[in-house]
Structure 1
Amino acid sequence: MRATKLTVAALAVVAGLSLTACENGEDIAADPKPVASSPTEAAPGGGGDTDKGQEGSAAGTGSDEDRTVDDCRTDELEVSAENVTIDGDTVGTVAVTFTNGGGRDCTLTGYAGVDLKTNAGSLSAERTGEEAPSIVLKDGKSVSFAVTYPVNDSGGSGVDVTGLVVTPPNETKSVTLDWPGTSLPVTDGSGTPVKVGPIGSAGQGG
């Protein structure tokens, strides 16, 4: 009889331990550790319209450190462009001319900024790397620089140029002109086919 009581008591203890373990397991499952989270900040909004054309900010290599003549401002210059390509050339040339109408002498140094507006997007001209001296442009006088580009001889329509955006050296204000040249050939997009020479690279007018 005593053996039977001990066995019953042992079973009761085992059952109690099993019940406790099960309850603890249910508590853990029912109350998982919370996952920390933090709010995501919204990205800052974009800026405004940035279609201002390329700045002509490169200084020339000319020696005029002691000059007293100020830089030419966009509002003082009359800007024009003409096609000066010679028939039969595989490279087209557009001459861009600055005429000083500001009532004072002023200085042009280096390269102007040049961008072409096309039906495939904006295209920035690369500088030729030629020496770019400083030029004092007398009031009423003119000076020109060259923009060169490959002539489209594919027989197709090519890339249509819809505008020529010019920014005088050391200025940020641009002038948009009609493009007097022809269309550009379609390229693989590996680089710009348009080059811009320094001030004076297309000769200086009177």
Structure 2
Amino acid sequence: MRVRKFAFAVLAACAALTLSACQDDGSGTAQGAPAAAPTTATGASPGGGPASGGQASTGPASGAPGKGGTSPTAAPTGPAGGGQSTKCKTSDLTITAADRTITGDAENTVVVELKNHSGKDCTLSGYAGVDLKTSAGTLSAKRSGEPVVTGVVKTGKSTYFGISYPANTSGGSGVRITGLVVTPPDETHPVTLPWPGAGSLPVTDGSGSPVKIGPMGSAGQGE
């Protein structure tokens, strides 16, 4: 009986010694416990470069600004300078007028040519200003009301518009025409030309101008 009690006491002492050896040694970390895992991002080495065989490091993407840099500017997609022609000025144009009356027509016709000699393309849109110098004073033409279309007049090329007016069939002298004044659209500088058409207009009752004009491009060279 005493032998059994002694053996039990020896076993208990050994167990106590073993447990003491496994306890915290004061360092705060249990012996044999695994250390905390490092906080390095997945796929990147501690030095910041890509891990061998892993994913690339998370630096700036291609085209994105780097440290201290700026974003690249996208190249313009439209044509340089907007690709638009400037408006034709009076100084860009050689302006002439010619009689284009066709026998049998109810009205007489003068066609005005505007030729671009500027060395660059320009645009003409709308109605010109047209005044006839007459023995009774200045007579301003009325617009025909035809639709306006913007047209590019290439350098060395021309555009045309027509002036229509009634023939003087009264048998009298009528109103004598002495000159033609043309001002291109959106311009303030006129050009004075010799009048190429019939020499006179019939006398009217003053209810309105008998002279009408079309917009730019409304007449052709042969009209």
Which residue number corresponds to residue 199 of structure 1?
216
Number of residues of Structure 1 aligned to a counterpart in Structure 2: 140
Which residue number corresponds to residue 5 of structure 2?
none
Offset of 1:77 from its aligned partner? 0.2
Which residue number corresponds to residue 142 of structure 2?
126
Give, in whole Å, the separation in 2 of the partners of 1:157 and 1:200. 33
Q: 1:143 aligns with which of 156, 159, 169?
A: 159
Which residue number corresponds to residue 126 of structure 2?
110
The runs of 5 or more residues in structure 2 that have no matched partner are: 1-81
Give, in whole Å, the separation in 2 of the partners of 1:154 and 1:89. 17
Offset of 1:204 from its aligned partner? 5.9
Give, in whole Å, the separation in 2 of the partners of 1:154 and 1:136. 42
CA displacement 1:51-87 (0-9 Å, x = unmatched): xxxxxxxxxxxxxxx7611000101100000000011
Offset of 1:125 from its aligned partner? 0.4
Give, in whole Å, the separation in 1 of the partners of 2:172 and 2:104. 18
Give the secondary structure class of the aligned counterpart of 1:139: coil
Runs of 4+ in 1 over 2 A off after TM superposition: none
% identity of equivalent residues: 61
Q: How does 1:18-29 map to 2 (within 5 A)?
A: none
Give the secondary structure class of the aligned counterpart of 2:164: strand
Q: Structure 2 counterpart of 1:73, which letter?
A: K
Give, in whole Å, the separation in 1 of the partners of 2:220 and 2:162. 9
Q: Does 1:69 align with 2:85?
A: yes
Give, in whole Å, the separation in 2 of the partners of 1:89 and 1:76. 34
Q: How does 1:152-191 map to 2 (within 5 A)?
A: 152-182=168-198, 183-191=200-208
Offset of 1:147 from its aligned partner? 0.4
Q: Structure 2 counterpart of 1:71, which letter?
A: K
TM-score by length of 2: 0.61
Q: Structure 2 counterpart of 1:118, which letter?
A: T
The structure, 1 or 2, with the larger RCO (C-alpha pairs under 8 Å, 6+ apart) is: 1
Give, in whole Å, the separation in 2 of the partners of 1:204 and 1:109. 18
Give the secondary structure class of the aligned counterpart of 1:160: strand
The runs of 5 or more residues in structure 1 that have no matched partner are: 1-65
CA displacement 1:159-201 (0-9 Å, x = unmatched): 1111100000110000000111111000111100000100011
Which residue number corresponds to residue 103 of structure 2?
87
